[in-house]
């Protein structure tokens, strides 16, 4: 177990290869489950309690009992992290995720045969793969044929294990522009969200982001909203259509892994002056560094580009 990562499964730490889920599991068969992902910052947990609180809100929404109280879930999560930290370098960090499905489908296909399935695991952040995006800004594309699931169908605020809607949109985007970042529109034609990410635009010094009713309100999104309030930067939720996006002065994305990352184009249209990051975005990035105790998450990514073009 010391040579490879371990996961928490059925109440104990096991090698990742031994965390095996039945093909009859509701999560595998129909995506009936929820998850949440936090990250470490310089190997230290960041907002783990807040992520677990959101996990339990998702569990309540879908009606799954994980068989663990939040404090026990946090304890198990920290145990997994501690066991896996020796396997990454000093300048690397982890995603730390709890995956919870309803459990194994009973033979009559009407109920559950046993407890919920709970897996807690670590995955290294893809720092090298994403380094150019942090330095140069992301190219955002909104898929034309796939819209974000509306709250009238199922609340986007639940972090569901089924990412079929978001993945379908991303697959369309990758066929059009490989390497681009997908952000789905909602059914009204307004910007919604991407795979685990929230989008913001800046107009005349004011920051706008989609209403939480239509998106998963990320904890990184909440962090930026708090930073803006601290710095006296106007920020509000709004309906943002493509007219607003194309005429924006700046844009950026937040997510657990990125924290914050600038956007340089939306649907091939350059944003504002092309400066990356823009002035307001740069102020918020500096505020995010302060929230992280001075940790430079931007440099953590861009150091991977040393010696590259």
Can you tell me the distance from the alpha carbon of 100 to that of 117, in angstroms, rounded to the nearest whole number? 5
What's the pTM? 0.94
Residue 308 has pLDDT above 60, yes or no: no
Closest of 75, 117, 94 to residue 5, by C-alpha: 94
6-125: CATH topology: D-amino Acid Aminotransferase; Chain A, domain 1 (3.30.470)
Class of domain 130-305: alpha beta
Closest of 114, 152, 165, 122 to residue 6, by C-alpha: 122
Per-residue pLDDT of 58-107, as tens digits, reads: 999 999 999 999 999 999 999 999 999 999 999 999 999 999 999 999 88
Interior/surface letters 274-295, b for 16+ CB within 10 angstroms, e for the rest: eebbbebbbbbbebbbebbeeb
Query: What are the structural domain ranges in the chain?
Result: 6-125, 130-305
Per-residue pLDDT of 118-172, as tens digits, reads: 999 999 999 999 999 999 999 999 999 999 999 999 999 999 999 999 999 999 9
Q: In DSSP terms, which residues pair with 269 in a beta bridge?
A: 266
Torsion region of 146: left, alpha or beta (phi above 0 gives left; psi -120 to 50 gives alpha): beta
Instruction: For residue 140, report the phi and psi dihedrals to the nearest 5 degrees.
Output: -95, 135
Token pair belonging to 34: 């929820």
Can you tell me the distance from the alpha carbon of 285 to that of 276, in angstroms, rounded to the nearest whole number? 12
* 200 contacts 253 by C-beta, under 8 angstroms: yes
Q: Model confidence at 274, in pLDDT bands (50, 70, 90)?
A: confident
- Listed in sequence order, the residues at least 6 apart from 7 whose beta carbon sits closer than 8 Å to its beta carbon are 13, 14, 15, 16, 19, 80, 119, 120, 121, 122
Per-residue pLDDT of 9-26, as tens digits, reads: 999 999 999 999 999 999
* 6 contacts 14 by C-beta, under 8 angstroms: yes
Token pair belonging to 189: 């034609």
* 98 contacts 92 by C-beta, under 8 angstroms: no
């Amino acid at each position: 177990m010391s040579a490879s990562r371990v996961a928490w499964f059925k109440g104990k730490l096991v090698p990742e290869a031994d965390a095996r889920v039945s093909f009859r599991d509701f999560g595998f068969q129909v995506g009936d489950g929820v998850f949440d992902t936090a990250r470490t910052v310089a190997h230290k947990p960041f907002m783990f309690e807040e992520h677990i609180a959101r996990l339990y809100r998702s569990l309540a929404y879908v009606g799954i009992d994980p068989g663990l109280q939040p404090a026990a879930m946090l304890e198990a999560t920290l145990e997994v992290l501690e066991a896996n930290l020796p396997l990454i370098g000093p300048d690397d960090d982890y995603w730390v995720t709890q995956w919870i499905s309803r459990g194994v489908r009973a033979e009559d296909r009407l109920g559950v045969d046993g407890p919920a399935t709970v897996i807690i695991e670590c995955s290294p952040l893809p720092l090298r793969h994403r380094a150019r995006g942090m330095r140069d800004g992301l190219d955002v594309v909104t898929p034309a044929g796939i819209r974000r699931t509306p709250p009238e169908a199922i609340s986007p605020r639940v972090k569901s294990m089924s990412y079929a809607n978001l993945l379908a949109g991303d697959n369309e985007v990758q066929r059009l522009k490989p390497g681009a970042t997908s952000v789905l529109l909602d059914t009204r034609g307004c910007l919604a969200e991407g795979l685990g990410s929230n989008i913001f635009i800046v107009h005349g010094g004011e920051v706008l982001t989609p209403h939480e009713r239509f998106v998963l309100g990320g904890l990184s999104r909440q962090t930026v909203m708090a930073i803006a309030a601290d710095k006296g930067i106007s920020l509000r939720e709004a309906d943002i259509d493509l007219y607003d996006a194309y005429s924006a002065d700046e844009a950026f994305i937040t997510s657990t892994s990125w924290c914050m990352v600038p956007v340089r184009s939306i649907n091939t249209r350059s944003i504002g002056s092309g400066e990356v990051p823009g002035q307001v975005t740069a102020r918020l990035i500096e505020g995010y560094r302060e929230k992280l105790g001075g940790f430079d998450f931007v440099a953590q990514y861009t150091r991977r580009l040393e010696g590259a073009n």
